[in-house]
A and B are shown apart, each in its own frame.
Chain A
Amino acid sequence: MSRHAELGLTDAEYERIVALMARAPNEVELAIFSLMWSEHCGYKHSRKLLRTLPTEGPRVVMGPGENAGAVDVGNGLACAFKVESHNHPSAVEPFQGAATGVGGILRDVFAVGARPIAILDSLRFGEPGTSPRSRYLLDRTVAGIGHYGNSIGVATVGGEIYFESAYEQNCLVNAMCLGLIETEKLIRSAAAGVGNVVVLFGARTGRDGIGGASVLASAELGGEGASRRPTVQIGDPFEEAKLLECSLELLDRELLVALQDLGAAGLTSASAEMAAKGEVGLDLDVAKVPLRAAGMEPFEIMISESQERMLCVVAPERVEAVLAVCEKWEVNATAIGVVTGSRRLRVLVGDRVVGDLPVPALVDECPAYDLAPAPPAMSPYAAPPRVLADGAAPQETLLALLGSANLASRRPVFEQYDCLVGSRTARRPEQADAAVLMLDADGGRRPALAVSIDGNGRRVACDPYRGAVEAVLECSANLACVGAEPLGLTNCLNFGNPEKPHIAWQLTRAVAGLGDACRALGVPVVGGNVSLYNEGGGGPIHPTPVVGMVGELPDAARAGRLGFAQAGDTVALIAARGWAPSLTGSELAKLRGAAPEGDLPAADLGELRAVHAAVRQAVRSGALRSAHDVAEGGLAVALAECCVAGGLGAEVTVDPAEATLFGEGPGAFVVSGPRGTFAAFGAAATIVGIVGGDELAIAGALSLPLGELTRVHADGLATLLA
């Protein structure tokens, strides 16, 4: 195997590099090219598709391309946010993989100057009931997320977890972070000012994470997990806590020209990106980089993915002040280079040049491939084992759903996360459909942000276009239930190998769905991440676009809750005219052993936007005492969740047909409040029952004691983790 092939470059790509360099690259240069032109850094198979997403809106203050996107949240503040994957590292070493996933997304947010205020996580594993490995991955991933987030003092306020056998060998770990900053203080990563000094600060550079981006993240997972552990980085949240405070103090004192975190591909990617954006060159002396391992080669220093490091550009007269701030926080800082006017990235060891690369070739000339999409002749996904008979009574069905790994209470997981630090959390996990984070008081009111992260791979596997539309709708619906209006979203596209036509088709259709839903709802995409090649020996993962959406609400005191709140309240179903729940792709279909196949119900996006707005307005007005969207498991599960969360029963009359009770499809909410509250909804509201008692009774279908619902919901995941 040739050297470039070992590094993940095709022959054609290698020839292109030789042409751009006008000579053969040496070892250092080839290593740098292989990383910059990897899927992970270069988005070779997704760049053209991503350009189709809407990225502009009146509240966008920083769009895609920076470390994180940002939206205006009023009072001169911006919220910077982004979601990123750390799938393959977590599959190889879940604790450190997940921990460093959190560390990486935190750095992306404070690299734009924002103080991180919240973390959310979107996780996918194989079936925990039958797979000890999936239980192990879940247990260690959760421990890793908690270890990093708790230790650094950023609240983990929400997330989602689903279990499907398609993720057995290739779990997904996506982490999202939100931060706050005064809008005028947002800092970009473009290097500028010829003669300015490049300072590396943070942890020392070691051999951990060598080749993570190219070898691990940009290829399918094979059976060599243990041998790939050295490609996984090791996280140190204490180092990052210091780095965070140090970075924010440097920015607060206006000592920096530009700031960039070191993530995938380490110094290579950080320096090339900074130089490319600033249309300048950089000279870096790797002999000056503080090392944690002796005898590291120049190429190793350039590609190391050691965590907790940042790169900044500083005017020469401010270097001393920068080093003093770093010393205060006990953070290593070293001037390792200068900005040049050459548009070349030069790697030096003292005076000796060991690499000399044209920056535009590294970044702008990275190939962008057209996909060759083709729908599969047959579904690549096997049917799950049947665990529930077709003839099961509605009562039995509801209990099976409520206790299933996908729908049971997430308390055993989220209790391992600090959801409070920062004193902003007005809605914690399981209190509402979205997390609510207060901003500073504005007069007598407490304006707040709401955030939700969602994506249902099984439904995208059925129907990539409509499944992706639903991911956006689900976030918007969750925000509506707390009274929040969407401001922007970030997405993480987790797919299989895009060189395969059916994966290319999934990716193409899903991105089209995302784009259409964003345009219809008026929600711009401000950033995101793509994770391809998510395949193990068992085939591809379910196509999993994960959407993280941020919204605003005027008054945290009126943020919605999901649980029924008061006996005697009226229960209403708010449904779009086009609401047509079906069993296709549903949790019930899964329990019955159905493969993820078939068309999902169509969504009238214009009507749904209006329904979401009506729910949002009703919550904001304070008229409703609870609001919960009907999602996985359908209407019966939504009603049960309202009962369990509120500790109150309900008596309800709805169409007892199976598809109405357990079918899934966007466009419905369960709300409660005093009678007469629902007039504003017009025809969308149907009064279906009354809150109270100690059982959930659905006329003609089922009647279950609240205690049993609560126990089954609480135990479903807890017993698997015990």
Chain B
Amino acid sequence: MKFGVIQFPGSCDERDALHAASLVGDAVLLWHRDHDLQGVDAVIVPGGFSYGDYLRAGALARFSPLMGEVERFARHGGLVLGICNGFQVLCEAALLPGALLPNTSLRFVCRQVELDVVNADTKWTGACERGDRLSIPAKHQTGRYWAPDPVLDELEANGQVVLRYATGNGFNGSARDIAGVSNRAGNVVGLMPHPEHAVDPLTGSADGLRLFESAALIAAHPTDFTEPTSPSRLRRPAQASAGTGAGGHR
């Protein structure tokens, strides 16, 4: 299993993501100006402040040359994980539905939070069980997940709500306490909390490792990457047939 972690100017957590991925597979840094994914099996768009969050978080990084390759890779079923700023970039790139708005407090908050696994059938949560509780830190100022209510209803119906802040753990005002979502096919997942900072009990928790293990599990049981929107086959078929694909509300 080979992970690629994209480095933009202003990325902060790319070395942490590289380390986390290297615990379950091979991992390389990918430079944002390149056009080559170097044959990786999974792409991680890391946290940080790409392009200083200027204009809008994620809005500029989304136009980096490598992101074009990532979009093609994702639409062909390739595994993509966006963490924090990476989640923002994937939303800007319309690979994931919804948007991230400033926290209701308008302040940056760094806090260990408890997350509930809502869907264990995505490519990035297959090593979890539905209802699992994960302790993972979150740290952001622009992490309030938002989408119009009809889109949120569709996401819930489609199983695209992957992670929720456990009761009392939400601090940013996210709609329906959503911490992470997937595209319709479940190969692209984005979340605001930082699983790469929860891979070692010495730093507080190793629960985040489960996401990386999930992707490694896919590599051990490869799916067909030729169907652009093939649903997850890892555990059970997707629950619903109608609804919004990636970025369909735009």
Q: Which residues of B contact A242 (CB under 8 A)?
A: 9-10
Expressed in whole angstroms, the Cα–Cα distance for A330 and B61 within the complex equals 14
A236 at the B interface (CB under 8 A)? yes
CA distance A427 to B15 in the complex (A): 20
**CA of A422 to CA of B33 in the docked complex: distance in angstroms?**
24
* Residue B139 lies at the interface, judged by CB distance under 8 Å to chain A: yes
Answer yes or no: A415 CB below 8 A from chain B CBs: yes
CB pair A238–B137 under 8 Å, yes or no, is no
Interface contact A238-B9, CB-CB below 8 Å: yes
- A150 to B141 Cα, complex, angstroms: 10
Q: A423-B19, A426-B203 are in contact. Are A415 and B13 (CB under 8 A)?
A: no
Interface size class of B (residues with CB under 8 A): 20 to 34
Q: Could you tell me how many residues of chain A have their Cβ less than 8 Å away from some Cβ of chain B?
A: 34
Task: Flag whether A10 is at the interface (Cβ < 8 A).
Answer: no
Evaluate contact between B10 and A420: CB separation under 8 angstroms.
no
Contact A425 B109 (CB under 8 A): no
Q: In the assembled complex, which residues on chain B have CB atoms less than 8 Å from the CB atom of A418? A: 12, 108, 110, 139
For A415, list chain B residues within 8 Å (CB).
Answer: 109-111
Flag A123-154 by CB within 8 Å of B: 1 or 0 each.
00000000000000000000100100011110
Q: Are B202 and A557 in contact (CB under 8 A)?
A: yes
CA distance A328 to B16 in the complex (A): 22
> Which of B16, B54, B139, B200 has a CB less than 8 Å from the CB of A422?
B16
Contact B9 A330 (CB under 8 A): yes
For A241, what are the chain B residues with a Cβ–Cβ distance below 8 Å? 9-10, 12, 49, 52
Identify the closest chain B residue to A146 (Cβ): B108
From known contacts A150-B139, A238-B51, infer whether A416 and B110 are also in contact, taking CB-CB under 8 Å. Answer: yes
Which residues of A have CB within 8 Å of B13?
153, 421
- Chain A residues with Cβ below 8 Å from B137 are 420
Write the B39-51 contact mask toward A (1 if CB under 8 angstroms, else 0): 0000000001101
Q: A238-B9, A238-B52 are in contact. Are A420 and B203 (CB under 8 A)?
A: yes
B123 CB-CB contact with A under 8 Å:
no
A438 touches B194 (CB 8 A): no
B151: min CB distance to chain A, Å: 30
Does B210 make an interface contact (CB < 8 A)? no
- Cross-chain contact A423 with B16 (CB below 8 angstroms): yes
**Is A417's CB within 8 Å of the partner chain B?**
yes
Is B11 at the interface (CB under 8 A from chain A)? Answer: yes
Interface residues of A in 93-151 (CB under 8 A from B): 143, 146, 150-151
**Is A446 part of the binding interface, using a Cβ–Cβ cutoff of 8 Å?**
yes
B118-141 vs A, Cβ < 8 Å mask (1 yes, 0 no): 000000000000000000010101
Q: Is B164 part of the contact surface with A, judged by Cβ < 8 Å?
A: no
**Residues of chain B lying within 8 A (CB to CB) of residue A428:** 204
Residues of B at the A interface (CB closer than 8 Å) are 9-13, 15-16, 19, 33, 48-49, 51-54, 107-111, 137, 139, 141, 194, 196-197, 199-200, 202-204
13 contacts between A and B (CB under 8 A): A146-B108, A150-B141, A152-B12, A238-B9, A238-B54, A329-B9, A416-B108, A418-B139, A421-B13, A422-B16, A423-B16, A423-B19, A424-B203
A-side residues, CB < 8 A to B, are 143, 146, 150-153, 236-239, 241-242, 245, 328-330, 414-426, 428, 438, 446, 556-557
Please name the 7 residue pairs, one residue from A and one from B, whose CB atoms are nearest each other, closest first. Answer: A153-B12, A238-B52, A151-B49, A423-B16, A418-B139, A420-B197, A242-B9
